[in-house]
Amino acid sequence: MLTADEQSRIDLALQEIVAELELESIPPPLGEGRVGADTSPSPLAGGATPPPLAGEAASYPPPLAGEAASYPPPLAGEAASYPPPLAGEGRVGASEDIHMAIEARLRQKLGPLGGKLHTGRSRNDQVAVDLRLYVKTAGADLLAAIAALEAALIARAEEHLDTVMPGYTHTQRAQPVLLAHHLLAYVEMLRRDRGRVEDALTRADVSPLGAGALAGSGFPIDRTALAHDLGFAAAAGNSLDAVSDRDFALELLAACSIAMIHLSRLCGEIVLWTSVEFSFAALPDALASGSSMMPNKKNPCAAELVRAKSGRVAGDLVNLLMVLKGLPLAYNRDLQEDKEALFDGVDTTIVCLQVAMRLVLGLKFDRDIMRTAALSGYTLATEAADYLSRKGMPFRDAHRVVGQMVAKGIATHKGLEDFSLEELQQFSPLFSADIFDSLTLEGALRSRDVLGGTAPTQVKEALARVKA
């Protein structure tokens, strides 16, 4: 076990190593950082080196920074040097991975004391701890990006509490709704996304440290205290599960995948709304692109790319699921493949949430076009059927009667609101003058005055709830 002085020396040395690794990760400027590097300007644009002339020594393509030229490959009988060896091959004492590399540096700095770092530990529990710490940080970033998009949708909804648009089923105009009501539907989706991320973070908040390779540490450590020191809520209760569990990563990726499906739906609607066929909204130039050939085009490429990337994140989830499929307990090197899918899925989702936020804030809605569209397509037919039902007619009969009215309207190019009372009474004597209060956009909206409905009073209450 370590004394307080030994622990302090190791902590200080580890801080130095972290700083050194950060410096090494910064690439040097072109031409710098290599012994004997030629600092004269290249004769070709971009710094490219031309291939040698006939008879000259081969030097093209140029070697990577710091490497000796090894191309073209040697001729038969020459010492093989191409392709270059994989990392760790052909070098005596090369570190196997980052864990062993850090320990080697620690021994260089502290001597035998550095070899105590790994006491009671395994790479298996260490990498599981690191991944859980990453998930906790990434989850917080996801929650912040979700909250930003929520705030954008809420702000736009508040601007459009009186903007009417057609609601759709089967991509056909169905009934009038408020634009605010439509936007708040996506807030509901994002609230569920937020809950899934938070739920995943709850299960990620467990420390595997002290589980060892699989059977637990052979030293009398306080795993609960270690967990709390690292910011975890608890220590894992089973060492075999602790080093092999990646459910927390799957859950975060699943939450990302569902969030991306929601973004694909939102962006799919933005693509439709900004088309000439709909013309409900327009995007600023910064969020659209033109055509290389057609001067009239303004393409919603940002929305299209977010829509497409939903498949990428769903693929990351399936990738990780297949990595875990059939794995026996406990740790297996297959788990090394968990990171690419997890990192890509999280990074892609965060970027897409940020882009979607900009799209929502940048949309310029055309209230007049949306209102006109909300009244076309016989969207008030349900109001007429409900009216007859309130008068005592069974709804199925009312549905049939109003269907006949719609057929007559199509044949005569008239909307239901354009029929006279006498024409309406030809379909049913239950119609009276008060029907015309229902056959308006405002009347249709007011009638949907139930919790979750599109009536203005309900939408205002919904807005107050999500702002609370």
pLDDT at 43: 40
pLDDT at 41: 42
Q: What is the pLDDT of residues 61-100, one digit of tens each?
A: 455 454 454 445 555 555 555 555 555 554 555 678 888 8
pLDDT at 352: 98
3-state secondary structure (DSSP) of residue 272: helix
Average pLDDT over residues 131-158: 98
Average pLDDT over residues 190-201: 98
3-state secondary structure (DSSP) of residue 388: helix
Rounded CA-CA distance 240/180 in Å is: 51
289 is annotated as an active-site residue? no
The reply to whether domains 123-372 and 375-467 share a CATH topology is no
pLDDT at 36: 42
pLDDT at 38: 44
DSSP state of 208: -
Q: Where are the domains of the chain?
A: 1-23+96-119, 123-372, 375-467
170 is annotated as an active-site residue? yes
Which of 291, 376, 420, 432 is labelled catalytic?
291
Cis peptide before 330 (omega within 30 of 0): yes
Q: How confident is the model at residue 22 (pLDDT cuts 50, 70, 90)?
A: confident
What CATH architecture applies to the domain 375-467? Orthogonal Bundle (1.10)
Q: How confident is the model at residue 110 (pLDDT cuts 50, 70, 90)?
A: very high
pTM: 0.83
Given a cut of 80, whether residue 190 has pLDDT beyond it is yes
Rounded CA-CA distance 375/171 in Å is: 16
**CB 345, CB 313: distance < 8 Å:** yes
Given a cut of 90, whether residue 301 has pLDDT beyond it is yes
Q: How confident is the model at residue 417 (pLDDT cuts 50, 70, 90)?
A: very high
Which of 25, 170, 292, 413 is labelled catalytic?
170
Q: How confident is the model at residue 48 (pLDDT cuts 50, 70, 90)?
A: very low
3-state secondary structure (DSSP) of residue 206: strand
- For domain 123-372, the CATH superfamily is Fumarase/aspartase (Central domain) (1.20.200.10)
Q: Which residues are CB-neighbours of 266 under 8 A, at least 6 positions away?
A: 186, 356, 360
Q: Pull the structure tokens for residue 379.
A: 């969207």
How many helices (H) and strands (E) in the chain?
A: 16, 6
Question: How big is the CA angle at 276 (ends 275 and 281), to the nearest 5 degrees?
Answer: 60
Closest CA to 339 of 89, 104, 133, 86: 133
pLDDT at 87: 52
pLDDT at 99: 85
More confident of the two residues 370 and 121: 370
Given a cut of 60, whether residue 354 has pLDDT beyond it is yes
Rounded CA-CA distance 189/151 in Å is: 13
Average pLDDT for the chain:
89
Q: How confident is the model at residue 51 (pLDDT cuts 50, 70, 90)?
A: very low
CA distances from 432 to 396, 421, 438, 464 (A): 20, 7, 11, 38
Which residue, chain included where needed, has tokens 């659209």? 288
DSSP state of 212: T
Average pLDDT over residues 120-132: 94
Portion of the chain with pLDDT greater than 90, in percent = 78
Q: DSSP letter string over 337-383? A: GHHHHHHHHHHHHHHHHHHHHHHHHH-EE-HHHHHHHHHSSSTTHHH
